[in-house]
Structure 1
Amino acid sequence: MNSQPHNPVSRRAFLRTGLGMVGIAALSRGTELWAAAERRKIPVGVQLYSVRELCARDLPGTLAAVAKIGYKGVEWAGYYNRSARELRRMLDDVGLVTCGTHTPYESILPQNLEATIEFNQILGNKFLIVPWMQGKTRQEWLDRARLFNEVAEKVRAHGMYVGYHAHAHDFEKFEGQTAWDLFFGNTRPEVVMQLDTSNCMAGGADPVEVLRRYPGRAITIHLKAHGGGPEAVFGEDKVDWKAVFEWCETQGGTQWYVVEHESSKDPMDAIRRCYAALQKMGKV
C-alpha cells in the first residue's frame, strides 16, 4: 500500500516557498544595507577652532584646504574681523556651508539677539550654539534654561535653533543633579544638546549614556577623540564610537557631525586624519 504524507507539498509549492524565503532574506539584507546607507548620510563639518591659528593667518586658504579634505561645512568660533557677507562669500567660493556658530552667551541676550539673528541669516547658519556658560547654583542653571526656552521660541520664526555646547564643568552636580541635566531637563526639545564626546568624558560622564537620556536632542554633536593622547583620532582613543554613531543615526536626531581636534602640532593634518578615520568607519 502506498502511503501519502498528511500534508503533501508539491515540488512547485516547495520551490515557490523556497524562492519566497530567499526573496525575504534578500529583501531583509537589502533593507539593512539601505538603512546603513541612510545612516551614513549625516554630513560632516569641522569646528574651525581646530585650525584657529591657520584661520588667523589665512582664512580663505584655510577654508579651501578644509573643503579639499572633504568636509561639507564649518562651525565658526570667531569671525576674524570679517563681516557676515565676506565670510559667506569665502564659503561659497569653496563650496562649504556654515553648520553652526559658537556664539557667546551675551549674543543671545535680548539686547543682542536681533543683531545675532541678522548676522547668521547672512551667513546661512541656523545653529546658534553657546559654547560656554557657568552657573554656581541649581537656580542659576534653571534660569539659563528659561532664557534658552525664550530664545528658542524667538529664533524658530527665522528657521534657527539655539543650543549649548558641553564642557567638563557641565557635569558637576548640584543637589544630586548635574548642571547638564538641570539645563537640558528643563529646556524645550528643540534646544540643541551639542554634546562634546571628549569634554563629556573629561567631566566624568559617559557620552553614550548622556545621549540616550535625550532622544532627538543631539541635533549637532562634536566628535572629539578622548584618552588616546594629543594626536589621537577616532578609533585610537577610548570613546565608544560604534555606540555614539548608532544613537546619532537612529534616535539622536543628528543633522551634523562636527569634528574637533584641539591639540595637534599640525592642526590641518589632524583634521585630515580625523576625516580619514571617519572614512574608514564608513561615515563619509
Structure 2
Amino acid sequence: MKRLGIGLQLYTLRDVIGDDLEGTLRKVAAIGYEGVEFAGYGGIEADRMRDLLEELGLKAIGNHVSLENLETKLDEEIAYLKTIGAQYAICPWLPEDRRSAEAWLKLFVDFEQYGKRFREAGIDFCYHNHEFEFEVEVDGKFVFDALYNRIDADFLKVEMDLGWVQYAGQDPLAYISKYANRLPLLHLKDFRKGDGTPGKRIDTVELGRGDLDLLPLIERAGESGVEWVIVEQDVCANPPLESVAESMEWLKNNYLSKI
C-alpha cells in the first residue's frame, strides 16, 4: 500500500481556533498530522505563517478559497500561497444561487480563467465537491463530471470528498479510479446515517465509526496518483481536537501500521 501524506482540513477545528490559530496548529502538529489545509489564515501574516509551519514540521497543502475571494482577491490569495509554499488552491463550496445549470455554465468559464492564473503562478487549482454536484446535469452528465470534462486538467484538478460522493449515491471507489492522476487531494470523511429528524439526515463521525469502507478507498487512492488524504469532519459530536486525534489514531492503527 502506497504511503500518502496525512493532512487535516482546519475547517474541522473552526470552533476551537477562535483567535488562536497558532496555538491550534501547535496542537495539530503534536497529534501527528503532517500537513494542513487552511480555511483562512486567522489574520496571521504570510511570512509568520511560513516560519511557524517550518518550526512545527507541518506542510502547507493549500487553502480553501471562497468563490468571493476568487472573484475579488485572487492576487492576494496567490501571493499568500506562494509565500507559505502551498501547492493547491481549492474552491470548497458554492452558495445555493450559484448551483443551477445556467449558473454552472458561467462558472465553467470562470474556473478555467482562475485555473490559468494559478497555473501561471505554479499553483494547482482544484474543486471540492459536496452532494449537490450530483443533483444537476450539464451536457447530459452530472455537473461533477461536466466540470472536469469542460476544463483541461492543467487548469482544474479534483479534490474529492469521499463522504459526499457516497452520500450522493455514487460509488467512491469508481470515482477515484475515474479521476486517477487528476486527483491529488482526497478528503477522508466518514458518514453515518442520521435519525431522520431535521438537520440529522447524516452524522459526520470520526474515521472508522461510519458507513464508508475506508481502507479500500485509501488503497485505491494510492494507486490513482493521490498525494494527500485529508481528514475533514464537518460537525464533531465530541470536542473537535478529540475527534481529529481519534481519526489520526485510526489512520495510525489501520493504515500506517500496514505500510
TM range (shorter): 0.7 to 0.9
CA distance in structure 1 between the partners assigned to 2:53 and 2:179 by the alignment: 32
CA distance in structure 2 between the partners assigned to 1:215 and 1:133 by the alignment: 24
Q: After alignment, is 43-52 or 221-230 more displaced?
A: 221-230
Gaps of 5+ in 2: 195-202
CA distance in structure 2 between the partners assigned to 1:256 and 1:136 by the alignment: 28
1:149 is displaced (CA, Å) by 2.3
Determine whether 1:167 maps to 2:130: yes
With over 3 angstroms needed to count, the CA separation of the structure-2 counterparts of 1:231 and 1:211, relative to structure 1, is: closer
Q: Which secondary structure state, in structure 1, belongs to the residue aligned with residue 61 of structure 2?
A: strand
1:194 is displaced (CA, Å) by 0.8
1:145 is displaced (CA, Å) by 2.3
- State the match for 2:89 in structure 1: 128
CA distance in structure 2 between the partners assigned to 1:77 and 1:53 by the alignment: 12
- State the match for 1:186 in structure 2: 150
Deviation >4 Å, runs of 4+: 228-231
- State the match for 2:226 in structure 1: 254
Determine whether 1:219 maps to 2:184: yes
Q: Which secondary structure state, in structure 2, belongs to the residue aligned with residue 52 of structure 1?
A: helix
1:139 is displaced (CA, Å) by 4.0
List per-residue Cα deviations over 1:70-92 (Å, max 9, x = no partner).
11111111222222223223222
Determine whether 1:245 maps to 2:218: yes
Superposition pairs of residues 1-284 of structure 1, within 5 angstroms: 36=1, 39-40=2-3, 42-109=4-71, 112-133=73-94, 135-174=98-137, 176-190=140-154, 191-227=156-192, 230=203, 232-251=205-224, 253-264=225-236, 265-283=238-256
The count of residues paired between Structure 1 and Structure 2 equals: 244
- Is the Cα–Cα contact under 8 Å of residues 141 and 182 in structure 1 kept in the other structure? no
Matched AA of 2:255:
G
With over 3 angstroms needed to count, the CA separation of the structure-2 counterparts of 1:57 and 1:107, relative to structure 1, is: closer
With over 3 angstroms needed to count, the CA separation of the structure-2 counterparts of 1:228 and 1:63, relative to structure 1, is: farther
> Which has the bigger relative contact order, CA under 8 A and spacing at least 6?
2
Q: Which secondary structure state, in structure 1, belongs to the residue aligned with residue 191 of structure 2?
A: coil
Higher CA-based Rg: 1
- Is the Cα–Cα contact under 8 Å of residues 192 and 204 in structure 2 kept in the other structure? no
- State the match for 2:199 in structure 1: none
Q: Which secondary structure state, in structure 1, belongs to the residue aligned with residue 94 of structure 2?
A: coil
CA distance in structure 2 between the partners assigned to 1:239 and 1:72 by the alignment: 23
1:217 is displaced (CA, Å) by 1.9
With over 3 angstroms needed to count, the CA separation of the structure-2 counterparts of 1:278 and 1:210, relative to structure 1, is: same
Q: Which secondary structure state, in structure 2, belongs to the residue aligned with residue 85 of structure 1?
A: helix
- RMSD between aligned residues: 2.1
Matched AA of 1:268:
L
CA distance in structure 1 between the partners assigned to 2:193 and 2:7 by the alignment: 22
With over 3 angstroms needed to count, the CA separation of the structure-2 counterparts of 1:268 and 1:136, relative to structure 1, is: closer
1:57 is displaced (CA, Å) by 4.2
Q: Which secondary structure state, in structure 1, belongs to the residue aligned with residue 27 of structure 2?
A: helix
1:121 is displaced (CA, Å) by 1.0
Normalising to structure 2: TM-score of the pair?
0.85
Between the two proteins, what is the percent identity of the paired residues? 27
